[in-house]
Every structure is written in C-alpha cells, then in structure tokens.
Structure 1
Amino acid sequence: MIQEFLKSTLPLDSSVTLKRSEIIPDSEIAAARSEAFEIVSDAGETVGFVKAWEEDPSFRGYVHFDSDGNVIDWKVFKGRLQS
C-alpha cells in the first residue's frame, strides 16, 4: 500500500495529513502503480503534494513538492523496507 509506505518514509509532522488525489496514469510507467496525495494542514490548507509509485514492494519511491510545485525531496527505495 502506497499510503502506508509514505507514512513510514515521508518526513511529515503531526499537523498535516495525506489526502488522496486523482492522477492521470503515465503510460511510460504502466508497470508501476502510482498515487498522488495532497498534504493538508490541520486548518485545511494544502501545503504540499506527493506523487508516489510502486513497481513491486521492493522498488518504489516518491516525489515531494511544496505548494508551489517545487520539488522538496525525491527518493527511490530498492529492496524491502525494514519495519
């Protein structure tokens, strides 16, 4: 599950939540499953965005954007995550 993966790897503080967004699938990464999320503050303001993908549980990643669409962080994970 991509949302659980993000909650365990994306450095967010407790004053924000992830809200799933609709995205158009990218035909170039058709083998990968992807999801997009808004990062929403407790006040209801969108403070950022995340696009995440998962080819299988051992190869996944995300791109974290600020509210203006600038990239804050980009991570790729290869191998199983430790719990």
Structure 2
Amino acid sequence: MIQEFLQSTLPLDSSVSLRRSDTDPDKEMARAHSEAFEIVSDDGETVGFVKAWEDDPSFRGYVHFDSEGNVIDWKVFKDRLQS
C-alpha cells in the first residue's frame, strides 16, 4: 500500500522507478508501518531514496533523498475524517 501511495504522490520522472530496499525499519517509527525504496533510473543507477511511513490510512508521509543522502522533499499527509 505504501508503494501505491508513493507512486500517486511522489513527483517522479517517468524514466525512474521505485525498488524496495532491504533496510531495517526505523526504530523511532516502531508504531508505524515503514518502508524504504531506492529510486532507480532506466539504466539501473540509483538516483535517490525514499523512506515512507503509514500510521493508518489517514496519516502517512515520506522523506525523499537524493543519491548523496540530502533531503529533497518531506511530506506528511493527514486525511480529514468525514462524518
């Protein structure tokens, strides 16, 4: 579900794709479900990284890094509860 969320919200060029990373989840985000992804070019080169989390479907976000680990973007999404 996190990957679909990223594909719909993260502004990525069509020449790159997300590949799930084999990293350990952040201990600081133990309550939330988190996943890490590499942003890979069509040539197979890693051009960035994304760490994303979801506490529940109404509260989630991501941090987008360049290939050197510098933060490019950081977004948090909180859906309004509908009555």
- Size of the aligned set, in residue pairs, is 80
For 1:72, the equivalent position in structure 2 comes to 72
What fraction of aligned residue pairs are identical, expressed as a percent? Answer: 82
Q: Deviations over 1:26-83 (max 9, x none)?
A: 2222110000000000011100000000000000000000000000000000016xxx
For 1:31, the equivalent position in structure 2 comes to 31
Instruction: Extract unaligned runs of 5+ from structure 2.
Output: none
Instruction: Extract unaligned runs of 5+ from structure 1.
Output: none
Q: Does 1:62 align with 2:62?
A: yes
**Local SS of the residue matching 1:11:** coil
**Local SS of the residue matching 1:68:** coil
In structure 2, what residue type is equivalent to 1:58? S
**Of 48-57 and 24-33, the range deviating more from structure 2:** 24-33
In structure 1, what residue type is equivalent to 2:15? S
Give the whole-Å Cα distance in 1 for the aligned partners of 2:27 and 2:49: 21
Consecutive aligned runs of 4 or more in structure 1 exceeding 4 Å deviation: none
Q: Does 1:42 align with 2:42?
A: yes
Give the whole-Å Cα distance in 2 for the aligned partners of 1:17 and 1:59: 24
In structure 2, what residue type is equivalent to 1:61? G
CA RMSD of the aligned region, Å?
A: 1.0
